[in-house]
Amino acid sequence: MIRDFEPIPLPDYAEKPLETMRQEAERFLGIMRQRHTVREFAARPVPRDIIETCLRTAGTAPSGANHQPWHFAVIGDPAIKSRIRREAEIEEQAFYAGKAGEEWLGALRPLGTDQDKPFLEIAPWLIAIFGARNSVSADGVTRKNYYVPESVSIATGFLIAALHQAGLATLTHTPSPMGFLNEICQRPANEKPYILLVTGYPAENAHIPRYATEKKPLEEISSFFL
């Protein structure tokens, strides 16, 4: 179906006075600085509706041609989580045994990661995030999607921020390759798994690598042209 341009007045925009803008920008920075990737999760359950609301936030992300080329497969079933752990650890064993190469393994050393992924069974929710190269609409027409990795990554960023704001911890896990997620999550071949987002409460004794708290200063990540 071809849709024509139909402009509507910009909804929802409310300009903030500059001082409020400053305060809000600072406040959000403060919130996001409190996000830390966690690898030790509590087994405590998290209600499904909270995950659903955060997924709705992810679904507001901008995307190529507004095609919204993402799919979030949300896994709470312990048997499926075990299967994912088993498959992921097979890949990770090969990765850490040398497939990654010395340089990559060296880069990961300060993070302290290894091939054991118990969090894949412990955390209450695993969110497998897929990007669709093309989509088939209800009327059976296949349409190509655009900027799929960019779109999926932006939506994932929204999701991570939403889960953090809700009070949950996440781990952006990327077993590689992770084609096994298509079969387990029953996703078609035109969809590529990008990230397995592990979500739940952090374990009571959770640690993070100090290295992960070292964020580049503004001067290093930006340049201004005035």
**Which residues make up the interface to ligand IYR (CB under 6 A)?**
92, 95, 108, 111, 113, 173-176
| Pick 134 or 153: Cβ nearer ligand IYR | 153
Which segments of the chain are extended strands (E)? 70-75, 125-132, 134-136, 142-144, 169-173, 191-200
Shortest Cβ 36–ligand IYR spacing (Å):
14
Report whether the peptide linkage leading into residue 9 is cis, meaning its omega lies within 30 degrees of zero.
no
Q: Which is nearer to ligand IYR, 45 or 118 (CB)?
A: 118
Provide the β-strand partners of residue 53: none
SS3 144: strand
> In whole angstroms, how close is the CB of 117 to ligand IYR at the nearest point?
7
Closer residue to ligand IYR in complex, CB, 134/174: 174
**Two tokens, residue 149:** 């990795």
Least distance from C-beta 178 to ligand IYR, angstroms?
9
Residue number of the CB atom closest to ligand IYR: 113
User: Per residue in 188-203, is it b (16+ CB within 10 Å) or e — as a string?
Assistant: eebbbbbbbbbbbbbb
Q: For ligand IYR, which is the closer residue by CB, 68 or 182?
A: 182
Min CB(57)–ligand IYR separation in Å: 24
